Amino acid sequence: MTIDFGHPDRPNSYIGKTVPRPNAPRLVQGRGEYVDDMVLPRMLHVAFVRSPFAHARITGIDAAEAKAVPGVVRIFTGAEVAEVCTPWVGVLAHLQGLKSPPEYAIAVDRACWVGEPVAAVVATSRAAAEEGAALVEVDYDVLPVVADMMTALDDDTPVLHADLGDNLAFRRVNEQGDVDAAMAGAHKVVTAHFTTARHTGVTPEPRSILADWNPADERMTVWHSTQAPHMMQTALATHLDIAESRVRVICGDVGGSYGIKVHVYPDEVATAAIARIMGRPVKFIADRLESFSTDIHARDHEIEAKIAVDAEGRILAMDVDDWTAIGAYSVYPRTSAMEGNQVVNLCGGPYDFEHYRARTSVVFQNKTPTCQYRAVGHPIAVAITEGLVDMAAAELGMDPVEIRRRNLYADDAYPVTSPAKMRFEGLSHHKSLDLLLDLMDYDGLRAEQAELREKGVYRGIGIASFIELTNPSPFMYGIGGARISAQDGCTVRMDPDGSIVALSGVTEQGQGTEAMLSQVVAEGVGVAPGQVHVITGDTQVTPYGGGTWASRGAGIGGEAALRAARALRDSILEVAGAMLQSDAAGLDIRDGEVVDAKSGEARMPLEELGRIVYFRGDTLPQGLPRELVQTRHYITSEYPFAFTNGVQASYVEVDTDTGNVRLLKHWCVEDCGRIINPMLVDEQIRGGIVQGLGGALFEEIHYDEDGQLLNGSMADYLVPMAAEMPDMVIGHVETPTKESSLGAKGAGEAGTAGAPAAVMNAINDALRPMGAQVTHMPFTPERVLRALGTLKD
């Protein structure tokens, strides 16, 4: 069963090597199949009339003019859709106290954020539907708006949902030890106020759905750009009152997701409901403005935090007060409390200390709902932790590396439980830090920095250690009552020509899941990766699974694939043993051929074995098992989550006249456990870093005090672009998880987790001689200048 990963020259050694991505030629040749490429007979398009107000009562809808537009077929109000579609409530039982009101696919009598759907126009083309939507007249009574996070709970702030009593959606305190006593007796206590801006994911392919209800066989087929087809199957079945078995969700090519496409969106459910009512296929493709105003937002946090250290720089305590505002509803079914919950679980994560208190307050407001986006909560927790650690080091006159060395969990400390009650199986903070310092030539860089400072050039070095939560068990969602699967499955079969087909419950969004699966299966069975055809994203075809999120594709989906592949190998060898009259244990499969395990001598190509099994089964012994197909499912059981770790460094130059920050170079050493495909891991780390750098310097969704979205285009919401990105050096330490035979922990979010903190620390390192400090992301030129005191008004 086990693979000797210690020997890179072992037969079929594809795990650990860069192999080509099987879907890359198709995608770069423009032969991908995205939802918008699908055209069905009798298909209609839907466009949504969306609320222009952050909070308003809907008092009337007049669709007469819209109905007259050529091509417009039908117009739906919220009440009409609600007749076939029940509302949902985004709460989970284990997030105690979390509350949220019922949310309708289309607002019925009240709109609670700019962009919330209030009517739907169905037409023969998207253009006609938009033409109609522009002519639907909605009468609104404008209601008071809750826009500010920090005053959402004040007595004179209106309560957004009267039935809920107040604007507090969720609050949790995670406490260990005696924080107040530790703070009181500390050598130094450093306090800081951090903010992280509201972001969204900006997927290249917008949210897309095509739903078709076939009344003849009472089945719904949905083509959906999603990360979690089985979760969507449940959601649509539940709220449209269709048996789960009669809903099929197909997820073809997906143009990026980053967590944006793992939620239930009102307009997407409405599209399915309209298809159900009309008995015709209905397509909805979000445009870019709809993406900015209705894709989930994330990261909008304000934090007051303290760290206490002794004279030797040992961390004694951390105290974190985190606030976040999640919009008008908790998003279904994962909830909008999870991000704040992660913050209170992850602060202080890399460090061995005793006294910890972190509180998150999650409040409602009249803005686009927030929910899980790549590296949920991590960039916030890492910024708080690493920001405070650097500030403490500065107070003590200690080098930022030295204070980390004194506090990081020792590499032999595991297993260990952190003060935030996270259980770590095995991490490599010190080894990773050593490698990082080596890669960046830390001492040389410090010397260069000092030399340039003499010449009035302000450069800074920032370091950020981090942990990243991956491979969630049912402790994340399942115990809360959500039908979100933590297990995943893979079916691997051999066809007559000796080729292998693998069907997996994890999904591909462009990150290379299918490449990863192909090489795991190739090594597991003993064929070349090109001989493995991977199929994902179809609830009627693949084993039941959770899909791809929380960096679980390789760790969970990969392990299921490996186990299924090894089982198929055993089945093939059993048949081969009977055919060759040899002991199966003495045979192996290498490069698509059954061979003698000891000598490597070729005994029979798989193609020949396939010919006999499928066409001349009469020649095989009766009773010989000949199922050349195996399915295995995998779930973690010893730890609620796997944890990866790593450390990043940023080197920046601050223009103290303009406040502009130039990213000079970035380093990351991470430990994602077993590396299956080095190039894919490096790409994931780099892509993640870029998203983190976007948060540090560029990305910010702006609202005015009336809850109006101010920047809904790519011209105004600044995503990181190639010209501003630094060279990145990626290094690896491998500490495989012992929970699985594969040992992979996941690599999709580590880059995003640590990058903003590294940049913040680098900027503050550059500014420190001038007594300035920034903690308000993104670090725009203006915020840097204001920190320097250059601007007076």
Partner 1 sequence: MKASVAGYIRANDVAHAVRLLASADGMGRVLAGGQSLVAAMNMRLSTGDMLVDISRLTELEGVTEEDGRLRIGALTRHAEIGRNPLIQTHAPLLAEAAGHIAHAAIRNRGTIGGALAHADPAAEFPACILCLNAVLHVTGPDGSRDIAAGDFFHGLFETALEEGEILTAISLPKAEPGEVQVVEEMARRAGDYALAGLCVTRRRAGYRIAAFSVGPRPILATGAMQALDAGDLDAAVANLAEEIEPASDTQASAAYRRHLAGVLLRRAALRIEGEAQ
Report DSSP state, residue 544. P
In the complex with partner 1, the residue whose CB is nearer, 222 or 767, is 767
468 binds partner 1 (CB under 8 A): no
Task: Tell me the closest approach of the beta carbon of residue 495 to partner 1, in angstroms.
Answer: 45
367 binds partner 1 (CB under 8 A): no
User: Alpha carbon 59 to chain centroid distance?
Assistant: 39
Q: Is 103 helix (H, G, I), strand (E, B) or coil?
A: strand
Task: Tell me the closest approach of the beta carbon of residue 166 to partner 1, in angstroms.
Answer: 31
In the complex with partner 1, the residue whose CB is nearer, 323 or 717, is 717
Task: Tell me the closest approach of the beta carbon of residue 788 to partner 1, in angstroms.
Answer: 11
Report DSSP state, residue 157. S
770 binds partner 1 (CB under 8 A): no
Cα(37)–Cα(157) distance, integer angstroms: 47
Report DSSP state, residue 329. S
Residues 6+ apart with CB under 8 A from 473: 486, 635, 636, 637, 639, 640, 641
124 binds partner 1 (CB under 8 A): no
Contact 387, 194 (CB under 8 A): yes
Stretch of 424-432, 546-554, 617-625, 705-713 contacting partner 1, by CB under 8 A = 705-713
Q: Which two tokens stand for residue 167?
A: 């604007």
Cα(414)–Cα(428) distance, integer angstroms: 10
781 binds partner 1 (CB under 8 A): yes
In the complex with partner 1, the residue whose CB is nearer, 557 or 720, is 720
Write out 245-295 in H/E/C secondary structure: HHEEEECCCCCCCCCCCCCCCHHHHHHHHHHHHHCCCEEEECCHHHHHHHC
103 binds partner 1 (CB under 8 A): no
Task: Tell me the closest approach of the beta carbon of residue 791 to partner 1, in angstroms.
Answer: 5
Report DSSP state, residue 71. T
708 binds partner 1 (CB under 8 A): no
Site string for partner 1, 291-330 (x = CB under 8 A): ----------------------------------------
The CA-atom distances, in angstroms, between 383 and each of 148, 162, 322, 743 are 22, 35, 12, 29
Cα(720)–Cα(699) distance, integer angstroms: 8
658 binds partner 1 (CB under 8 A): yes
User: Alpha carbon 469 to chain centroid distance?
Assistant: 11
Contact 36, 52 (CB under 8 A): no
Contact 342, 274 (CB under 8 A): no
Q: Which two tokens stand for residue 571?
A: 């089945």
458 binds partner 1 (CB under 8 A): no
Q: How many residues bind partner 1 (CB under 8 A)?
A: 33
In the complex with partner 1, the residue whose CB is nearer, 583 or 782, is 782
Task: Tell me the closest approach of the beta carbon of residue 724 to partner 1, in angstroms.
Answer: 6
In the complex with partner 1, the residue whose CB is nearer, 471 or 780, is 780
Stretch of 19-27, 30-38, 534-542, 711-719 contacting partner 1, by CB under 8 A = 711-719
Task: Tell me the closest approach of the beta carbon of residue 196 to partner 1, in angstroms.
Answer: 17
289 binds partner 1 (CB under 8 A): yes
Site string for partner 1, 724-763 (x = CB under 8 A): x---------------------------------------
In the complex with partner 1, the residue whose CB is nearer, 248 or 783, is 783
Residues 6+ apart with CB under 8 A from 358: 173, 174, 175, 318, 319, 320, 321, 322, 343, 344, 347, 420
Contact 275, 309 (CB under 8 A): no
According to CB under 8 A, which residues from 414 to 433 bind partner 1? none
Alpha helices for 83-125 (secondary structure H): none
According to CB under 8 A, which residues from 130 to 169 bind partner 1? 130-131, 134
Tell the burial category of 441 from Cβ atoms under 10 Å away from its Cβ (0-12, 13-18, 19+). exposed
Task: Tell me the closest approach of the beta carbon of residue 291 to partner 1, in angstroms.
Answer: 12
For residue 143, the tally of other CB atoms under 10 A from its CB is: 17
Site string for partner 1, 36-65 (x = CB under 8 A): ------------------------------
Q: Which two tokens stand for residue 201?
A: 């994911």
* Pick from 328, 203, 216, 303: nearest CA to 254: 203
Report DSSP state, residue 629. E
Among 193, 721, 727, 738, contact with partner 1 (rule: CB under 8 A) = 721
Task: Tell me the closest approach of the beta carbon of residue 93 to partner 1, in angstroms.
Answer: 40
Is the bond preceding 415 in cis, omega lying within 30 degrees of 0?
yes
In the complex with partner 1, the residue whose CB is nearer, 655 or 734, is 655
71 binds partner 1 (CB under 8 A): no
Q: Which phi and psi angles does 73 have, rounded to 5°?
A: -105, -40
Task: Tell me the closest approach of the beta carbon of residue 130 to partner 1, in angstroms.
Answer: 5
706 binds partner 1 (CB under 8 A): no
718 binds partner 1 (CB under 8 A): yes
287 binds partner 1 (CB under 8 A): yes
Stretch of 158-166, 515-523, 594-602, 695-703 contacting partner 1, by CB under 8 A = 695-703
Task: Tell me the closest approach of the beta carbon of residue 118 to partner 1, in angstroms.
Answer: 17
Contact 537, 32 (CB under 8 A): no
* Pick from 303, 422, 300: nearest CA to 360: 303
Contact 788, 770 (CB under 8 A): yes
Site string for partner 1, 242-281 (x = CB under 8 A): ----------------------------------------
723 binds partner 1 (CB under 8 A): yes
Q: Which residues pair with 491 in a beta bridge?
A: 503, 631
In the complex with partner 1, the residue whose CB is nearer, 376 or 759, is 759
126 binds partner 1 (CB under 8 A): yes
Strands of 124-207, DSSP E: 137-142, 168-176, 188-196, 199-200
Q: How many CA atoms lie within 13 A of 232 on its CB side?
A: 31
Among 86, 214, 660, 773, contact with partner 1 (rule: CB under 8 A) = 660
Stretch of 374-382, 433-441, 547-555, 698-706 contacting partner 1, by CB under 8 A = 698-706
Cα(615)–Cα(547) distance, integer angstroms: 36
In the complex with partner 1, the residue whose CB is nearer, 543 or 778, is 778
Stretch of 318-326, 354-362, 667-675, 785-793 contacting partner 1, by CB under 8 A = 785-793
By the criterion CB under 8 A, which residues form the site for partner 1?
Answer: 125-127, 130-131, 134, 287, 289, 657-660, 698, 700, 702, 710-711, 713, 715-716, 718, 720-721, 723-724, 780-782, 785, 790-793
